[in-house]
């Protein structure tokens, strides 16, 4: 049940972010990225990534354990972004999307307890 709630949260958040980044990237720059970066079409690339997470999370509602690799992927990329982008920006007092950082931090703390590790690493 908890695993399905995580997928549902992914569907809501990643779905909204992906749609706004792909179809309204300038608006996403303001809302998702808190105007922390200069506009670039790379925002659409981020939207495509989150779109994939959105779609895979829909499958996760029906096949929660089989789709758990998408959660592991999120744990890896969110941790990496926090360590290599958010933390250095915060230390240097540079702009970065704080809302995104808080959401990523919550997810990085929660995911290790939700991911069905045995299902991922069993034969």
**For residue 3, what are the CA distances in angstroms to 23, 52, 58, 115?**
29, 18, 12, 8
Percent of residues, the chain, with pLDDT higher than 70: 99
Does residue 26 carry a pLDDT above 90?
Answer: yes
**27-36: b (≥16 Cβ within 10 Å) or e:** ebbeebbeeb
Does residue 123 carry a pLDDT above 80?
Answer: no
The chain-wide mean pLDDT, for the chain, equals: 95
- Determine the pLDDT at residue 58: 98
- Determine the pLDDT at residue 30: 93
Confidence of residue 50 (pLDDT cuts 50, 70, 90): very high
Any idea what DSSP says for residue 123? Answer: -
User: pLDDT by residue (tens digit) across 73-116?
Assistant: 999 999 999 999 999 999 999 999 999 999 999 999 999 999 99
- Determine the pLDDT at residue 40: 92
Phi-psi region of 85 (alpha: psi -120 to 50; beta: other; left: phi over 0): alpha
- Determine the pLDDT at residue 2: 94
Confidence of residue 37 (pLDDT cuts 50, 70, 90): confident
Q: Which position has the higher pLDDT, 89 or 122?
A: 89
């Amino acid at each position: 049940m908890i695993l399905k709630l995580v997928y549902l949260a992914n569907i809501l958040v990643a779905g909204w972010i992906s749609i706004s980044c792909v179809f309204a990237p300038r608006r996403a720059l303001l809302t998702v990225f808190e105007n922390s970066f200069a506009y670039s079409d790379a925002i659409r690339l981020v939207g495509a990534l989150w779109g994939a997470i959105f779609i895979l999370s829909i499958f996760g509602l029906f096949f929660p354990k089989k789709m758990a690799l998408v959660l592991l992927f999120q744990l890896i990329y969110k941790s990496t972004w926090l360590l290599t982008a958010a933390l250095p920006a915060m230390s240097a007092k540079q702009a970065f999307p704080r809302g995104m950082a808080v959401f990523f931090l919550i997810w990085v703390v929660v995911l290790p307890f939700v991911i069905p590790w045995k299902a991922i690493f069993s034969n």
